[in-house]
Amino acid sequence: MQDKKQKIITILGARPQFIKAAAVSAVFKNSVNEILVHTGQHYDSNMSEVFFEELDIPKPKYHLNVGSGSHGAMTGAMLTAIEAILVEEKPDFVLVYGDTNSTLAGALAASKLLIPVIHVEAGLRSFNKVMPEEQNRILTDHVSELLFVPTQTAVDNLKNEGITKGVHLVGDVMYDGILHFAKIAQEKSTILRDLNLEEKQFMLCTIHRAENTNDIQRLKAIFAGLNDSGQKIVLPLHPRTLKYVKEYGIEVSENISIIEPIGYLDMVRLEASAKKILTDSGGVQKEAFFLGIPCITLRDETEWVETIENGWNRLVGADSAKIQEAVLNFNPTENRIDYFGNGTSVEQMVQVIKSFQKKTIEIIRVTS
């Protein structure tokens, strides 16, 4: 008689989580009963639905349609909706990725119902608690029972906070994914032809974090650096960021080509073909490193300190002069070090989940 498959509720809500889910869900389908919940945190179809289609991610059983809003309103709405789903489904685990409001809402809902939380990409720290993402990842780690960690630095971060139980260094699931999808992107994506681009003749930029988009001075300084570089820069822009650019009256010079958000395969194709990448995204920093593309990070700190130490990533913040200088002169000289595992992190996760022993607890609906 076959063992009954464990039931896992996976919470998704933002682009990086869809990408990780593509790698994880592909392995899970043969091992566990996975049910996807899409919070709707990224509600634009180009930022959400297209990822499910092109990456062959199973369609979510639940779509919460939360959309945008203040951090409190968004997290609260998700928490309420997710709790109801968990009471109905009674899963063995709840799995969350990364550091978004969706991550925290899923972790809190599960923890309060005494359902074990699995945190994929645990242990990352920017050591800047002004960032909502930093608050989310710290709180999530402290309520998780299984913490799948991408690097030794992340293990050390958790140990420094007194978290050692349930910590597993498995490598980075995004590395698993990029090994697979870079080849598919090269075969299927037509983005270079569509945009009339040539290999290594342009730079790719992404800007989306609130610390940059919500601060008019930072956003102006970033665009000043990009403008003054004079280099051809392709900039897929999130609708929210484009809204701020227009509201702030920020100058965008002719060397910058703003395009609409694109699907993951097109994004990977652009990343792999770019001369350099400028970004404030943690995921894009890693993808640049995996693909061997120099990365210029538009933040004052990064969770991916290994890429800085290895000399393939440079922090420039929102300093226009530093941005311009890095665009023109930054060229890594060191060989890349294999910090992020060997591409088998998901298989390792499955084995840990299968062997996990939890207390039998009846999930009840809270009526008080």
The set of catalytic residues is 208
* Residue 185, SS3 per DSSP: helix
Measured CA to CA, the distance from residue 335 to residue 37 in angstroms comes to: 40
Measured CA to CA, the distance from residue 262 to residue 194 in angstroms comes to: 12
H or E element at residue 75: helix 71-89
Phi and psi at residue 296, to the nearest 5°: -115, 115
The sign of the CA dihedral 264, 270, 274, 277 is negative
DSSP 235-261: EE--HHHHHHHHHHT----TTEEEE--
Measured CA to CA, the distance from residue 354 to residue 4 in angstroms comes to: 11
Q: Would you give the distance in Å from CA 51 to the centre of its chain?
A: 13
> Which amino acid, one-letter code, is at 60?
P
